[in-house]
Structure 1
């Protein structure tokens, strides 16, 4: 049996407002919100992307949803984040801050509560030191 692919997430009408129609949010919007929230956390050096996002970024375009995967289930919204942590930062503290930041950002911007925010640390980013010799 084929899985049902959700094209958009239903939004509730804000309290005290007249319902004028249906409000839906594309999953890509949730990914962008989560991506920006992730990069704002101190200790996160970046998110993991794929080959295509790497090529796009080489041409100067910023891909905010890189390293973010969202899934809408009957239980609720599940967000998976794949990121790199800077060397010397506490992995546990950074991961917890990423979870908190994403939950707050998604709720504040869309009123959607997240069921899970799973943080996957895929690497440690060391400081780049240029050892170029001067002539």
Structure 2
């Protein structure tokens, strides 16, 4: 599995929830991002998640050879959406490589809303 680190002393299994929280914390620091939103959008209503629920705006998919992270975000009105998305991708990729020792294979960003801050 992609989320298992093995060394001479044994192996370390990193849960999807930990990866999701790390990715959410990294993403929230990006310029132009208002916040993370729930990945389950019902009735067209999008609510921003607080700091304690950042992992709920992130979906982590782990297979034998691939780690895919989906981020659901709200961007600030007046910012270039593609730039914000690229910054989020780079920040998440860098942070996970730094903290976990491995980087995700794919980081997908889904912009759910645009907000006036």
TM range (shorter): 0.7 to 0.9
Q: Which of the pair has more CA radius of gyration?
A: 1
- Ranked by relative contact order (alpha carbons within 8 Å, sequence separation 6 or more), the top structure is 2
Whole-Å separation in 1 of the counterparts to 2:95 and 2:24: 10
Q: Which of the numbers 6, 9, 12 marks the counterpart of 2:3?
A: 9
TM-score by length of structure 1 reads 0.73
Whole-Å separation in 1 of the counterparts to 2:33 and 2:112: 11
Bigger proportion of residues as strand? 2
Whole-Å separation in 2 of the counterparts to 1:28 and 1:94: 24
Q: Which of the numbers 5, 8, 14 marks the counterpart of 1:25?
A: 14
Q: CA deviation at 1:35?
A: 0.3
Structural mapping, 1:48-127, within 5 Å? 48-49=37-38, 62-127=52-117
Gaps of 5+ in 1: 1-5, 14-18, 128-135
TM-score by length of structure 2 reads 0.83
